[in-house]
Structure formats: C-alpha cells, structure tokens
Amino acid sequence: MNTESFNNKVVLITGAAGGFGTLLAKHLSTAGAKLVLSDRNEQGLTELRKKLSGDPANITTQTCDVTAETEVAALVSTAVENYGRLDIAINNAGMSTPMKLLIDTTEEELDLNFAVNTKGVFFGMKYQIRQMLTQGEGIILNVASKAGLGGAPKLTSYAAAKHAVVGITKTAALEYAKKNIRVNAICPYFSPTPMVTEGMDDSLQDMLAKASPMKRLGTPDEMVTAMLMLINPENSYLNGQAIAVDGAASAL
C-alpha cells in the first residue's frame, strides 16, 4: 500500500495505547503523519511515544476518557491548536464486558458498553466533523465489529452498542457526503488484541478460531492493513460502509 498519502496528514487516534491503535500509530508515524494519540492509560501513551519513529514534534499524546464529552472536545481542539487542522480521525477506543447470556446481563454492563463503544464514537464524530466542516474535507473511521453486523451470542450489550456504531456511521456519511467528509466503519472478527485475550481463555479462542471459515482468528496486522486502506486519502469514493474483515464469517 502506498503510505506516502499520509505524509503530513493530521491523524487523531483514540484507544491508541494498545491493540489496533498502537499498530496504526506505528504505521502512520513511519509514513510521516502528524499524530494526536489518546487513551485513558497515560503510562501506555508514554511508552507508545517512545516506540514511534516519527519526528517527536509530530506526536502529541493526551489522556482522554471517550465517555466524557468535554474531554473528547478538548482532544480535537488540541489537534487543531498543535497542527492547524484534523485530516483523519480514527475512533478506535472500545471495550467489552464478560460474556454472558442476555438474561444475565446487567443494566450496568449495558450502560458501560454504550458509554464507551457508542457514545465515545458519537462524541468523537460530533467534534471531528465540526472541525472538518471548516476545512471542507475529512476522513473518519469508526471501529465497530462483526458483532455490529449480526448476532453475537453472549455479547448482547456489546453487539447492541456496535450495531449503533454502524448506524451512526452510515447516517453521518449521508449527512456530510456533499461536504467531502467520508465516514466508514471497520467490523473485525475476533482478533488477539489485549481486549480479547484478557477476557478469554485459550479454549474459547480456539473455539472462535474454528468457527471462522478460515479456521483462525484474524491477526491485528491484518485488521490494521484494512484500516489503512479505509483511511487512505486516495480511496476517496469509499463512503458510508461497514466493512467486515472476518475471514468470510459474515458470508455464512
């Protein structure tokens, strides 16, 4: 993939201290992007910054709880104050509560999934789009899930929140397409990032791998390759899509 398109682009990533966010930051830093990286984990951000190969002046880190609208707004303001604009935003921060049947799911678990996975994306888009409207262009990628495209047994609240992400992605794409703002979502199958591996034992991961038509989980690198394709400025007519990267699981 041609990564020259990212040179000098201002890119904001939430949930940057682990999983897909860290891999994205590494790729984009190498490509010459100006990065605004956020996470709740301040130490993780500090460690990530040390690992990046780009010009330190082009790397800004800021703690942000995506469930707090004021903190999300401040993050976008930091991007503009430091670099003058916001070209690409990746709403990657997410979480999941322990797997359980719908009838055993608590209101607190439902609220937490919607607070992080849905409201976090909504708040991000609200302020990212406002800035992009002043520029006349912009690219947004929301990290949803295959669970946002179909049923996900024992992940009711997570699936509901990720379906909502797909819905607001498509709605925003329609609202702002004529303003040259592209909004897409990626819908990965289970991938061995910390969010997955910390919540599942090996036997469950093995079961999920066997459930995939490709008989394995997708690697984080495979997911990030697709994400880079979706945010590439040259990919300028791809808009309003929820792209499944799932080894054909959604084709069943």
What are the residue numbers of the active site?
158
Phi, psi of 152 (to 5 degrees): -140, 85
Hey, what are 106's tokens?
Answer: 């608590």
Look at the block and give the residue holding tokens 């990530």: 48
139 in helix, strand or coil? strand
- What number of other Cβ atoms are within 10 A of residue 131's Cβ? 19
Which residues, other chains included, contact 71 with Cβ-Cβ below 8 Å and sequence gap of 6+? 64, 65
116, 123 contact by CB (below 8 A)? no
209 in helix, strand or coil? helix
Hey, what are 107's tokens?
Answer: 């209101």
What are the angstrom distances between the C-alpha of 176 and each of 87, 119, 133, 165? 15, 19, 9, 16
Task: Region of 46 please: left (phi>0), alpha (psi -120 to 50) or beta.
Answer: alpha
Nearest to 10 by CA among 66, 83, 72: 83
What angle, 0 to 180 degrees and rounded to 10, lies between the N-to-C axes of helices 120-135 and 156-176? 10
